[in-house]
């Protein structure tokens, strides 16, 4: 497409290629030229050979064509009457060269990232997307929290390092009391005796009876010794937790059962899965990406609540809402038992979660885009109980507008996730309970997390831009130095995802985005602020492989994102990505960060670690 004078100036050192046929005698103007941004695609497909091409800067000073030439002809010396000499030295092609890492870690606890090498990150095959980041983010090596499985969410005590900027300030704290469950029995009464959870089986049908659309809700228990059980698509995975007394989410005490999770599944009467882009039905051991923040951990007991709903309601918002509400009737009864029957003697572990602020450090905000297209895409926000239903407002009904939360609310179950998009990239309710980005950012001594914003992804584009403009304004008012924007799923939601980044970016706030993109989810839109992206993909083929939570945001992604944002906030540019998705970019980024931080980053396994299902064999791998 023809370019403007401004674009021509930006690309003054790029080859001059005519966008259209131009006749002899034509004085060349920017309107005669093709946008250099698409040249790589053209060269790749053999449509363009740039050998001998003059640059835009050389031919935009009154050069005239001496021959009539067709579209996509590079301007060479033999077809213009005159041209300017090339400016200065040859443009260094180094931007694409192998990343250099000398990092020279700064010994002092100076928070400012030192200059260093570059990390290249690639996302999809789209344009305007990828990245290189400087890695010399020295300092802060000591207190780096490492283990993904680290149970403590508490901000690592920064006491040892009295920062010049001042001590970390604890804004609020809450306590999680863990109770061990090693046996679940379905029976006539809901109660907890020792480490055995009894669930009144009839509660499930009562929950179903109260929901017009739910025909039946049946519980069963799947134990670690037999995960090879067929399951309909998993709609959600929920921690079973309750607040002590009248404490609100994010404060006071939360009681949570360890070793057991609630797993919601659903189909219609006709047997259609409640899922939109793919569904995870199949044998659990073949379709569950164990250990992901949102998934079941290997060794946990699964309480499966399976619902059958009205035909055709699998793709309409009331269907999933009815299922979740019915299931919560069962969970609520367990919560009541936990409140009444559990005693402090039974506590196996106590965690104190603290929200810390780090005055003087770079202020960052975490924006999490959550699905709100209606259909089945919705989330309950701020229930009374962790991942409950009562007291919550669906974000669709809130108009998907941005809503602020504090990090402890997030990790105390303020999101009850209803969305049933691609199973591999969906963030389950449990994901928020263990949100890796919130966790890593809170533990990072170099940044000061001001809070978390949830923003819905509405269906209509006009609504998408409506909410992203509100988001931009909200972020502006926070006066932050940097922002993360995460999303789940891919495709439709990328429209607002990139718009969020634009709205924040254009206010001068550096942004790093997180999404599953890879091969199948390559960004469908983009803008100049989308230059720093972390790809959540873990699958071998870069696809939505229908393995539950496979491609969701993990600690390894959060760590890369933090390094990238710190680099961006320090004014470093991010190197453009490879043109086609390759794991190599992530691998080299990880390697660079490990060297720079002196920290080993444990990478999670992907679907290849699971037994190969017939579905995967047939459809994917």
Partner 1 sequence: MENIQMLLKQGAVGRPCAPVVAVGDKVKKGTLIATPTGLGVNVHSSVYGEVVEITEDRIIIKPDEEQPDEYVKIAKGSNLEMIKEAGVIGQGGAGFPTFIKIYNGKEDKPVLDHGYILVNASECEPGLAHNIQQIDEDPATLLRGIHYLMEIAGADKGIIAIKKKHRATIEKLDALLKDDPDIERHLLPDIYPMGEERAVVRECLGIELEPDKLPSAANAVVINSETVYSCVAAIEDQKPLIDKNITVRGMIEGGNEAHVFEHVPVGTSVQALIERAGGLDKRGYGEIIMGGAFTGKACNLEDPITKCTGAILVTRQFRDLKGAKVGILVCACGGNLERMEDLVAKYNGTVGHVCYCKQAAEMPNGTRKCERPGNCPGQVKNNLEFKKAGCEYIIIGNCSDCSNTVMASGPKMGLKVMHMTDLAMMAVGHPLYRTLKVSKKVDQDLNVVDNVEDNETVQ
Q: Which residues are catalytic?
A: 420
| CA separation, residue 316 to residues 78, 224, 311, 403 (Å) | 63, 34, 10, 24
- Contact positions with partner 1 (CB under 8 A) in 487-526: none
DSSP notation for 339-387: HHH--GGGEEEEEEEEEEE-TTSEEEEEEEEEE--BTTB-EEES-SSTT
Q: Which stretch binds partner 1 (CB under 8 A): 35-43, 100-108, 172-180, 327-335?
A: 35-43
Q: Which two tokens stand for residue 540?
A: 């071998």
Nearest residue (CB) to partner 1, 123 versus 534? 123
Nearest residue (CB) to partner 1, 46 versus 93? 46
What track of x and - describes contact with partner 1 for positions 76 through 95 (by CB under 8 A)?
---x----------------
- Indicate whether 2 belongs to the interface with partner 1 (CB under 8 A): yes
Alpha carbon distance 261, 300 (integer Å)? 7
Contact present, 301 and 174 (Cβ < 8 Å): no
Q: Work out how close the CB of 5 gets to partner 1 at its nearest, in angstroms, rounded to a whole number.
A: 15
- Indicate whether 142 belongs to the interface with partner 1 (CB under 8 A): no
Contact present, 503 and 468 (Cβ < 8 Å): yes
Q: Work out how close the CB of 12 gets to partner 1 at its nearest, in angstroms, rounded to a whole number.
A: 19
Could you tell me which residues come within 8 angstroms of residue 321 by beta carbon, excluding any fewer than 6 positions away? 378, 394, 418
- Indicate whether 170 belongs to the interface with partner 1 (CB under 8 A): no
**Coil, strand or helix: which one is 43?**
helix
Taking CB under 8 A as the criterion, the residue among 1, 104, 149, 185 binding partner 1 is: 1
Q: Which stretch binds partner 1 (CB under 8 A): 67-75, 251-259, 278-286, 467-475?
A: 67-75
Q: Work out how close the CB of 36 gets to partner 1 at its nearest, in angstroms, rounded to a whole number.
A: 12
Taking CB under 8 A as the criterion, the residue among 7, 10, 13, 20 binding partner 1 is: 20
**Coil, strand or helix: which one is 235?**
strand
Q: Residue 518: which region, alpha, beta or left (left: phi > 0; alpha: psi -120 to 50)?
A: left
Contact present, 89 and 537 (Cβ < 8 Å): no
**Phi (first) and psi of residue 74, to 5 degrees:** -70, 140
Could you tell me which residues come within 8 angstroms of residue 419 by beta carbon, excluding any fewer than 6 positions away? 370, 371, 376, 377, 378, 379, 426, 427, 488, 489
Q: Work out how close the CB of 3 gets to partner 1 at its nearest, in angstroms, rounded to a whole number.
A: 9
Nearest residue (CB) to partner 1, 72 versus 342? 72
- Residue count, binding to partner 1 (CB under 8 A): 24
Nearest residue (CB) to partner 1, 19 versus 112? 19
- Indicate whether 51 belongs to the interface with partner 1 (CB under 8 A): no
Nearest residue (CB) to partner 1, 282 versus 521? 521
Q: Work out how close the CB of 78 gets to partner 1 at its nearest, in angstroms, rounded to a whole number.
A: 8
Nearest residue (CB) to partner 1, 37 versus 603? 37
- Indicate whether 457 belongs to the interface with partner 1 (CB under 8 A): no
DSSP notation for 557-600: HHHHHHHHHHHHHTT---B---SS--HHHHHHHHHHHHHHHT-P
- Indicate whether 19 belongs to the interface with partner 1 (CB under 8 A): yes
Q: Work out how close the CB of 7 gets to partner 1 at its nearest, in angstroms, rounded to a whole number.
A: 12
Q: Which stretch binds partner 1 (CB under 8 A): 41-49, 229-237, 409-417, 484-492?
A: 41-49
Taking CB under 8 A as the criterion, the residue among 50, 72, 112, 144 binding partner 1 is: 72
- Indicate whether 35 belongs to the interface with partner 1 (CB under 8 A): yes
Q: Work out how close the CB of 46 gets to partner 1 at its nearest, in angstroms, rounded to a whole number.
A: 7
- Indicate whether 47 belongs to the interface with partner 1 (CB under 8 A): yes
Q: Which stretch binds partner 1 (CB under 8 A): 62-70, 384-392, 487-495, 505-513?
A: 62-70
Alpha carbon distance 407, 353 (integer Å)? 10
Taking CB under 8 A as the criterion, the residue among 14, 16, 28, 34 binding partner 1 is: 34
Q: Residue 198: which region, alpha, beta or left (left: phi > 0; alpha: psi -120 to 50)?
A: beta
- Indicate whether 46 belongs to the interface with partner 1 (CB under 8 A): yes
Q: Are strands 131-134 and 118-121 parallel, antiparallel or unpaired?
A: antiparallel
Q: Which one, of 218, 239, 344, lies nearest residue 301 by Cα?
A: 239
Q: Work out how close the CB of 491 gets to partner 1 at its nearest, in angstroms, rounded to a whole number.
A: 14
- Indicate whether 24 belongs to the interface with partner 1 (CB under 8 A): yes
Contact present, 173 and 355 (Cβ < 8 Å): yes
Nearest residue (CB) to partner 1, 38 versus 247? 38
Q: Work out how close the CB of 35 gets to partner 1 at its nearest, in angstroms, rounded to a whole number.
A: 7
Strands ordered across the beta sheet of 191-193 = 183-187, 196-200, 191-193
| CA separation, residue 224 to residues 184, 304, 389, 502 (Å) | 12, 13, 28, 46
Positions touching partner 1 (CB under 8 A) are: 1-2, 19-21, 23-24, 31, 34-35, 38, 41-42, 45-47, 67-73, 79
């Amino acid at each position: 497409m023809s370019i403007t004078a401004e674009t021509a100036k930006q690309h003054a050192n790029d080859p001059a290629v005519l966008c259209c046929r131009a006749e002899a005698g034509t004085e060349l103007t920017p309107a005669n030229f093709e946008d250099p941004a698409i040249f790589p695609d053209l060269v790749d497909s053999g449509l363009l050979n740039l050998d001998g091409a003059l640059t835009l800067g050389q031919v935009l000073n009154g050069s005239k064509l001496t021959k009539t030439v067709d579209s996509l002809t590079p301007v060479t010396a033999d077809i213009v009457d005159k041209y300017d000499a090339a400016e200065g030295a040859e443009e260094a092609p180094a931007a694409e060269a192998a990343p250099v890492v000398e990092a020279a870690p700064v010994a002092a606890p100076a928070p400012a990232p030192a200059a260093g090498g570059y990390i290249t990150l690639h996302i999809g095959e789209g344009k305007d997307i990828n990245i290189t980041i400087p890695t010399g983010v020295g300092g802060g090596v000591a207190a780096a929290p490492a283990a993904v499985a680290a149970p403590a969410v508490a901000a690592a005590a920064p006491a040892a390092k009295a920062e010049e900027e001042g001590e970390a300030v604890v804004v609020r704290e809450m306590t999680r009391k863990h109770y061990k469950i090693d046996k679940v029995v379905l029976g006539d009464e809901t109660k907890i005796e020792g480490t055995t959870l009894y669930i009144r089986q009839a509660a499930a049908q009562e929950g179903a009876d109260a929901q017009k659309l739910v025909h039946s809700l049946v519980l069963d228990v799947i134990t670690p010794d037999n995960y090879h059980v067929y399951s309909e698509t998993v709609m959600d995975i929920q921690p079973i937790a309750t607040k002590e007394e009248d404490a609100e989410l994010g404060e006071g005490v939360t009681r949570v059962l360890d070793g057991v999770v609630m797993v919601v599944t659903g189909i219609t009467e006709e047997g259609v899965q409640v899922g939109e882009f793919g569904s995870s039905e199949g044998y659990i051991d073949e379709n569950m990406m164990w250990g992901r923040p949102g998934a079941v951990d290997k060794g946990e007991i699964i309480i499966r609540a399976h619902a059958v709903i009205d035909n055709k309601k699998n793709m309409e918002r009331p269907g999933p809402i009815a299922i979740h509400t019915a299931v919560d009737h069962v969970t609520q009864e367990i919560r009541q038992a936990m409140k009444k029957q559990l005693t402090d003697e039974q506590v196996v572990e106590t965690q104190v979660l603290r929200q810390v602020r780090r005055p003087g450090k770079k202020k960052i905000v975490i924006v999490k885009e959550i699905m709100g297209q209606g259909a089945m895409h919705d989330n309950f926000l701020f229930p009374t109980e962790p991942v409950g239903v009562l007291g919550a407002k669906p974000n669709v009904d809130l108009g998907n507008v941005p809503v602020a939360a504090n990090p402890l609310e997030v990790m105390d179950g303020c999101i009850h996730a209803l969305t049933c998009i691609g199973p591999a990239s969906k963030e389950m309710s449990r994901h928020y309970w263990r949100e890796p980005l919130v966790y890593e950012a809170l533990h990072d001594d170099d940044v000061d997390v001001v809070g978390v914003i949830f923003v819905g992804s509405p269906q209509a584009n006009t609504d998408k831009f409506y909410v992203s403009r509100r988001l931009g304004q909200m972020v502006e008012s926070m006066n932050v130095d940097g922002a993360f924007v995460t999303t789940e799923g891919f495709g439709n939601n990328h429209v607002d995802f990139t718009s969020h980044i634009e709205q924040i970016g254009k206010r001068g706030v550096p942004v790093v985005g997180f999404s599953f993109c890879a091969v199948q989810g390559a960004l469908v839109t983009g803008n100049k602020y989308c230059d720093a992206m972390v790809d959540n993909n873990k699958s071998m083929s870069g696809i939505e492989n229908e393995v539950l939570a496979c491609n969701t945001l993990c600690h390894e992604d959060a760590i890369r994102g933090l390094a990238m944002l710190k680099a961006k906030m320090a004014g470093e540019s991010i190197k453009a990505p490879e043109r086609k998705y390759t794991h190599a970019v992530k691998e080299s980024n990880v390697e660079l960060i490990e060297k720079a931080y002196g920290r080993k980053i444990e990478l999670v396994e992907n679907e290849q670690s699971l037994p190969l299902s017939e579905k995967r064999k047939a459809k994917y791998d």
